[in-house]
Chain A
Amino acid sequence: MSNSKLAQVPSNALIPERDLDKTPVLETHHLGINFGGLKAVDDFNLTVGRTEIAGLIGPNGAGKTTIFNLLTKVYQPTTGTILLDGKDTAGMSTVQVNKAGIARTFQNIRLFSALSVEDNVKIGLHNEIHCGMWSDIFRLPRHWRSEKIAHERALELLSIFHMEDMANAQAGSLPYGAQRRLEIVRALATNPSILLLDEPAAGMNPSETSELMDNIRKIRDTFQIAVLLIEHDMNLVMGICEGICVVNFGRIIAKGDPDEIKNNPDVIEAYLGKKGAK
């Protein structure tokens, strides 16, 4: 384990067959971070196929969100490498990683709550539609052109979740479920190649959840991107994920397709304790 840190071992990938001949969109090798003496994440190896929907599950405090923070460089990893489209992201900042193709949502919603829904999406489009400060201030033709494109693009993206009608509402005033959906739209606006969703179904009722499942599939199919999601709702995870990775105490305890995970004794033990496994 720890003495093999420098070796580039395959991360016993779970790439769906259709993606096998392409470079995985995301690969991590021996990824880890220490907080003081605590190994919050240790020797984390994962491969996500180009159009895969992958799940990251585990009990509370297992380090799932920390992994997301490592992938998006909110934290710089202590050990290991992250490859995005086969390219090493070492030394990149959150902003650079986003430009390179990782977009995410947050477990505790982080919208620009004082701004309108449309503006939230337009901020997501920031690096897609360019316009400099001077054309903005002096309202040069370029400003009007880019604003028009941004407006149309924003409404188009909002229509994925049928939210066009809410475009002018203040983001912070939306109902909880709509805020979660808006966060996904904002992340999609950055034109990512992999979308990280941190508990997208939290606080949603069963019908909203099943609609979300359809929408995640729809996003994957239309944008041809990968999705990696953290979720506690097992119906959602087992329903849409093609590969699942289970972590506990910062380490991977199991990987496999939904059926393998469901019957894995280690996973059952992690969730239910030793007695549950028997």
Chain B
Amino acid sequence: MKKLSKNAKSNAVTYAIVIVFYIVMQILSGSGTLSSSLTGQLIPICVYICMAVSLNLTVGILGELSLGHAGFMSVGAFTGVIVAMSLQASVASGPIRLVLAMVVGAVMAAIVGVLVGVPVLRLRGDYLAIVTLAFGEIIKNILNNLYVAYDAEGLHIRLLTAISKSELAEGGFMIINGPQGATGITKLSTFTAGFLLMLFTLFVVLNLIQSRSGRAIMSIRDNRIAAESVGINVTKYKLMAFVVSAALAGMAGALYAMNFTGVAAKKFDFNTSILVLVFVVLGGMGNIRGSIIAAAILYVLPELLRAVNDYRMLFYAIVLIVVMLVTNNPTLKNGVNAVWTALKGVFVKTVPVPEEGGESDE
């Protein structure tokens, strides 16, 4: 039973971090102490936290490298925009439209995830990295040449050739206009929606990891041959992790797009995928809480460094290198652990805890 309570405790801390973050930010922005640029970053922070947590499912938990996470984000983003804008007339409530947009965005990203994953995840080796890298570029180029409009007759979807206003019926409007991307989006995203999405993403990922399916996924990462020898269907569980990860990225993408009046495909390029991967790697592979913290800090860091505007990317790079060194340095790590244990000792001194045996009585 201790195992269960240990997981539950660790989950509670993770959820608490997100909840505290939300409350603090609400208070700060309410009282006006938060700079307007930082207030504008709140929703993207939530989105990137969700991106990092979901990518961690593929990279840290499944152990497959994915370099096209932004591709799934863009699928969710553009699908979400199409859904939200075409439902503008029929569904009056903003939040409901946002939820619908996110759900459809997730489903679409999941479908694309299946299409990418089915051929690749059957193979052994690092093919996923190469294919997702290509996928990210391909999807960006497809979206760059996608034209979608909406009028009384319904949706008009066309590739390569632009749709002119005159072709549309009365009251029709463009949703996606090729390289310009989606324009004229009604801003539906709120910080609260971002917060709820973070909780949902955590709920899905943590529950999945700490279950029969999650154990199967981790067994593939730890030892594929042994996993097969005990009857784990490797392709199925690889696909499960990859598709859930893609769907969550799609949701985050929909929320992200609905935060702006316009969003273009070039926003979701290779750099964005790598940015999210950096959050995951520096937060710790397979460490969900680490992903949250790394995404939050590293996403706002360039913003905070605005004071030294000319050198901020330089500082950013230095911070990344330092974090990388520190997290991989055994001496420093042991030092931090020693301090942590000492601190723990101070606080729980009142209860005498014998080394191992006592703990299991919990």
Q: Is there a chain A Cβ closer than 8 Å to B257's Cβ?
A: no
Taking the closest CB of chain B, its distance from the CB of A133, in whole angstroms, is 5
Q: Is there a chain A Cβ closer than 8 Å to B212's Cβ?
A: yes
Taking the closest CB of chain A, its distance from the CB of B252, in whole angstroms, is 17
Q: Is there a chain A Cβ closer than 8 Å to B70's Cβ?
A: no
Complex: how many Å from CA A113 to CA B227? Answer: 12
Complex: how many Å from CA A45 to CA B110? Answer: 49
Do residues A110 and B226 form an inter-chain contact, with CB atoms below 8 A? yes
> A112: which B residues are within 8 A, CB to CB?
218-219, 222-223, 226-227
Q: Is there a chain B Cβ closer than 8 Å to A116's Cβ?
A: yes
Complex: how many Å from CA A170 to CA B12? Answer: 22
Contact residues, B1-46 vs A (CB, 8 A): 2-3, 6
Complex: how many Å from CA A127 to CA B203? Answer: 25
Taking the closest CB of chain B, its distance from the CB of A186, in whole angstroms, is 6
Q: Is there a chain B Cβ closer than 8 Å to A84's Cβ?
A: no
Do residues A126 and B218 form an inter-chain contact, with CB atoms below 8 A? no
Taking the closest CB of chain B, its distance from the CB of A85, in whole angstroms, is 16
Q: Is there a chain A Cβ closer than 8 Å to B317's Cβ?
A: no
Interface string of B182-212 (1 = CB under 8 A from A): 0000000000000000000001100110011
Set B3, B230, B233, B240: member contacting A123, Cβ < 8 A: B230
**Contact A131-B211, Cβ < 8 Å, known A123-B216, A167-B3:** yes
Which of these binds chain B: A50-58, A139-147, A233-241?
Answer: A139-147
> A132: which B residues are within 8 A, CB to CB?
213
Do residues B207 and A104 form an inter-chain contact, with CB atoms below 8 A? no
Q: Is there a chain A Cβ closer than 8 Å to B111's Cβ?
A: no
Which of these binds chain B: A93-101, A214-222, A250-258?
Answer: A93-101
Contact residues, A110-140 vs B (CB, 8 A): 110-116, 118-119, 122-124, 126-127, 129-133, 136-139
Taking the closest CB of chain A, its distance from the CB of B353, in whole angstroms, is 15
Taking the closest CB of chain B, its distance from the CB of A63, in whole angstroms, is 19
> B341: which A residues are within 8 A, CB to CB?
none
Q: Is there a chain A Cβ closer than 8 Å to B225's Cβ?
A: yes
Do residues A126 and B225 form an inter-chain contact, with CB atoms below 8 A? no
Set B3, B225, B229: member contacting A168, Cβ < 8 A: B3
> A189: which B residues are within 8 A, CB to CB?
230
**Contact A126-B230, Cβ < 8 Å, known A74-B225, A110-B223, A137-B204:** yes
Do residues A124 and B230 form an inter-chain contact, with CB atoms below 8 A? yes
Complex: how many Å from CA A143 to CA B211? Answer: 8
**Contact A98-B214, Cβ < 8 Å, known A133-B240, A136-B207:** no
Do residues A115 and B207 form an inter-chain contact, with CB atoms below 8 A? no
Report A's interface with B, CB cutoff 8 A: 72, 74, 93-95, 98-99, 103-104, 106, 110-116, 118-119, 122-124, 126-127, 129-133, 136-139, 143, 146-147, 150, 165, 167-168, 186-187, 189-190
Q: Report 28 cross-chain contacts, Cβ distance below 8 Å, ordered by A residue.
A: A95-B228, A95-B233, A95-B234, A98-B230, A98-B231, A103-B229, A106-B225, A106-B229, A114-B221, A116-B3, A118-B3, A122-B212, A122-B215, A124-B230, A126-B216, A126-B230, A130-B212, A131-B213, A133-B208, A133-B240, A136-B212, A136-B213, A137-B203, A138-B207, A143-B211, A150-B212, A168-B360, A187-B229
Q: 6 closest pairs, A vs B, by CB?
A: A136-B211, A110-B226, A112-B222, A98-B231, A94-B228, A127-B231
Further 9 A-B residue pairs, CB within 8 A, beyond A122-B215, A126-B231, A187-B230: A94-B228, A110-B223, A111-B223, A113-B223, A127-B231, A133-B208, A136-B207, A143-B211, A150-B212
Report B's interface with A, CB cutoff 8 A: 2-3, 6, 203-204, 207-208, 211-216, 218-219, 221-223, 225-234, 240, 360
